[in-house]
Amino acid sequence: MSASQPNQPKIGFVSLGQGPRLDLDSYHQRLLKQTGIKAHVIWRHVLDGLSHEALASMAAKDGMPAIRSNLRQSGEHSALGPGWTARWFDRDSFIPLVQEAIDDLEVKDGVDLTIICAAEEFPASSFRSNRPVVLPSIAMAAYAQLLANTKPTATLGLLVYGDRQRQQQQDGWAAKTWAGDLNLVFCGHGNDLNAAAEEFRSTIPDLILVWAYGAGVGQGEDGAESLSLKLGVPVISAAVASVSMAAKLLSSASEKVSS
């Protein structure tokens, strides 16, 4: 959490796992600075404090939309390092938890805006708020729609975590009437950008969306930028798209970084 200064906007970040996530905080602090915003950052991790029984009740069911979350667990080791593991949870079970985080950030902390740190799509109108809430799937889809307007048969690359979410991802894109003719190419190497670059080389997309919020974090200074340079195509990450949109939604009175 950054120190609060007078007249600085407050931005809430909601992760769909447990915290603290120093990697995500450092990454977003850097993105905010690059965007030219000084902000007081406040985190909520919606799985913090839940019992083993509560977590078990949220376990992903076969054939149902799921979200991959990071949990602290002694003796385990994941892409986040020792003491962490990743598990799949039912997507819709997050809706009340995220709504509670949005309400808490707005009422208790008085945030000007909230970013939900999850690339997967939720059903329309899942959340309500008094201040802007940035959903990364909407922020990223804007780039794809821009492409589709003038090149409807373009190839869109989607970098994801494996195949577990494939049907929900395909269903989400099928619901976008403007995306009907886009050629979707999925790559499941969200945890390995070098492997992703090799796989995408066989079908160079016109645009790549990093449809996995944490992909690339900790893999170099800017994983998406590195992937873009390797392939020679634009790569938009969920975090970059979200912070860029947030910058335009914040009050004009927000304090900017001096040049």
pLDDT digits (tens, 9 = 90+) for 13-58: 999 999 999 999 999 999 999 999 899 999 999 999 999 999 999 9
E strand segments, the chain = 10-15, 40-45, 66-78, 81-90, 113-117, 133-134, 155-159, 183-187, 207-210, 235-237
- Distance from C-alpha of 210 to C-alpha of 208, rounded to nearest angstrom: 6
Residue with tokens 């949109």: 245
3-class secondary-structure state, position 20:
coil
Domains of the chain in sequence order: 10-135+242-249 (no CATH), 137-239 (3.40.50.2300)
Per-residue pLDDT, 191: 82
Q: How confident is the model at residue 4 (pLDDT cuts 50, 70, 90)?
A: low
* pLDDT average, residue stretch 188-213: 92
Q: How confident is the model at residue 3 (pLDDT cuts 50, 70, 90)?
A: low
Per-residue pLDDT, 100: 98
Instruction: Provide DSSP, 235-253.
Output: EEEHHHHHHHHHHHHS-TT
Residue with tokens 């977003």: 28
More confident site: 215 or 162: 162
pLDDT above 70 for 221: no
Pairing state of beta strands 66-78 and 81-90?
A: antiparallel
Per-residue pLDDT, 117: 97
3-class secondary-structure state, position 128:
coil
Say if residues 235 and 229 touch (Cβ distance below 8 Å). Answer: no
Confidence (pTM): 0.90
Calculate the average pLDDT of the chain.
90
3-class secondary-structure state, position 46:
coil
Residues 110-146 have pLDDT tens digits of: 999 999 999 999 999 999 999 999 999 999 999 999 9
Per-residue pLDDT, 252: 47
Q: How many CB atoms lie within 10 A of CB 99?
A: 17
More confident site: 183 or 226: 183
Please list, in sequence order, all residues whose beta carbon lies within 8 angstroms of the beta carbon of residue 191, skipping any fewer than 6 positions away. Answer: 79, 161, 215
> In the chain, pLDDT over 90 holds for what percent of residues?
76
Per-residue pLDDT, 253: 37
In 111-184, which residue ranges form alpha helices assigned H by DSSP? 136-150, 166-174
Residue with tokens 């800017």: 222
- Distance from C-alpha of 174 to C-alpha of 14, rounded to nearest angstrom: 27
